[in-house]
Amino acid sequence: MIRIEDLCKTYHMNGRSKVVAKNVSATFPSRTAVAILGRNGAGKSSLMKMIAGTMSPDSGRVISSGTISWPVGFAGCAHPQLTGLQNTRFVARVYGVDSDELVDSVRNFAELGQHFYLPVRSYSSGMKSRLAFGLSMGIHFDTYLVDEVTSVGDAVFKQKSDDVFFERLKHSGMVMVSHSMQAIKKLCTEGAVLEDGHLSCYTNIDDAIEHYQDNIARHKEN
């Protein structure tokens, strides 16, 4: 479970202010897939970063009863000067999991061959995504964060990735940001709409999508 309590965040730049969260409170239940919807610039990714703990709010707090992942498939989770192997062992130490088991899992899943032993800076973008997704799936989290759907590799590898991710979601929750309504309907059962610093939560994903689409239509008219 993730509980957000009176979260506030405002950006100040060039004499202007942008409110991302204004006394936001919400509860995301355990083993539940929740989509965060909002127009571009609404602050969805900032909210995700505050949930992940990589960004501090101005006030308020995020409380979790379990472990929370970094954004699934985020290629920036790997240090470019370290090899795939070294990155994997580092992540294992940070999260307190068995290093050898995680190495075996990531090496087999990512299918990088000898590149696994080379610096990540030498990887193509696709190889970085494979490593990142392998790291994300190599550790069992209570809640997975997904900031946009990550497409990795060819059709066969993508299917394997989807199968592993769906298996994780049988026992874990998810908080997801995406502009793909198809992916949201496929993966999420609940939703929350972020607009002007306020978060409206829905236990039915269709209600959240309707609210979001109404916001889009209203702003097109103005």
Per-residue pLDDT tens for 132-187? 889 989 999 999 999 876 556 677 888 888 888 888 889 999 999 988 898 899 88
**pLDDT of 212 above 90:** yes
- Please tell me the predicted confidence (pLDDT) of residue 160: 84
pTM, 2 dp: 0.86
Over residues 58-75, the mean pLDDT reads: 88
State the Cα–Cα distance between residues 32 and 34, nearest whole angstrom. Answer: 6
Q: How far is CA 147 from CA 71, 75, 83, 100, 198, in A?
A: 6, 12, 25, 28, 19
Contacts of 33 (CB under 8 A, 6+ apart): 169, 173, 174, 176, 187, 188, 189, 190
Over residues 57-62, the mean pLDDT reads: 96
Residue 149 identity: V
- Spatial strand order in the sheet of 59-64: 16-28, 2-13, 59-64
CB of 178 closer than 8 Å to CB of 148: yes
**pLDDT of 47 above 70:** yes
- Please tell me the predicted confidence (pLDDT) of residue 222: 61
CB of 86 closer than 8 Å to CB of 160: no
Say which residue, 76 or 20, is predicted with more confidence.
20
